[in-house]
Amino acid sequence: MLFSEELRAQAQPIMTAIHEHPFVRGIATGYVPREALIFYVEQDFQYLSEFIKIYANAITKLKDREEMKFFANSINFILNSEIHPHHVFCDIADVAYETLQHATPAPKAYLYESHMYRAADTGSLLNILAAFQPCPWTYSEIAQKQTKEHANHKNNPFKSWIDFYAKSANESEGSLSNSVFQWIDRLAENATPQQRQQAMQFFLKSCELEWQFWEQAYHQEDWHFKELLTTEKNSHNKKLSYNRKTTIQ
Ligand SMILES: Cc1ncc(CN)c(N)n1
């Protein structure tokens, strides 16, 4: 069995829980509470910004130009394309995207970012790829499953979100996702059982943190002593006062 097959097999219970998560089901059925959408975008904006920095840092560990290109493309995708799904959520929540770009990372987002830095700090490309991979992989799985269920019908306000990640499953992110699994397999061939085990742990923890990220947004889980822990003035302490862009008649 290829190592990437082992990774996916071990992660299956987590992937099933992600598919069944109420936030993710809400995308398929067309309704997610407004506060959850706002919290998600605030946190994801911060998370993806951090992800870019971690990708950039990972480039310093590479020797091969093709490998560098992969990380450069990933950064480009996050910076220039992945704002679209955020806009979809903002439009549904009827909130201006610019107002959601100043949050402090909430506990699970902080944990996820720290986890990826920890993977990068090991200096092992296998660990780095294993820790990064659940980010594109789980979204591509969600979108492909929801497309198969025909959740992306024209009356679903989340259609464009599903189409975006389903399309990227075939083009950039997903085909990228497959090529990353192949890359992981090549690295795993020369790894010791201990090194594979460590990479497996990075992968599974990132999968769990993907589930936690949905959970955190759905329940707007934040630091309990937030006012002591942040210097941000514009954090989502004020979430209930987010003005709608349009006036309700
Ligand atoms: C937390 C999280 N994980 C994954 C993705 C999809 N790249 C995302 N936007 N945010």
**Cα(74) to centroid of ligand 1, in Å?**
12
* Ligand 1, atom 8: closest residue by C-alpha: 135
Q: Is the CB of 213 under 6 A from ligand 1?
A: yes
Q: Is the CB of 141 under 6 A from ligand 1?
A: no
Pocket test for ligand 1, best of 21, 87, 177, 210 (most atoms within 8 A of CB): 210
The predicted structure's pLDDT at residue 249: 52
Q: Domains, the chain, ranges and CATH?
A: 3-27+34-223 (1.20.910.10)
**What is the spatial distance between Cα 61 and Cα 132, in angstroms, rounded to a whole number?**
15
Of 49, 43, 24, 45, give the one whose Cα is nearest residue 162.
24
Over the stretch 138-179, which tens digit does the pLDDT of each residue have? 999 999 999 999 999 999 999 999 999 998 766 654 556 788
**Cα(139) to centroid of ligand 1, in Å?**
7
Structure tokens at 44: 């994801």
Half-sphere exposure of 125 (CA within 13 A, CB side): 20
**Cα(137) to centroid of ligand 1, in Å?**
9
Backbone angles phi, psi at 171, to 5 degrees: -105, -115
Average pLDDT over residues 36-49: 97
0.95 surpassed by complex ipTM: yes
Q: Is the CB of 44 under 6 A from ligand 1?
A: yes
What does pTM read for this prediction?
A: 0.93
Q: Is the CB of 136 under 6 A from ligand 1?
A: yes
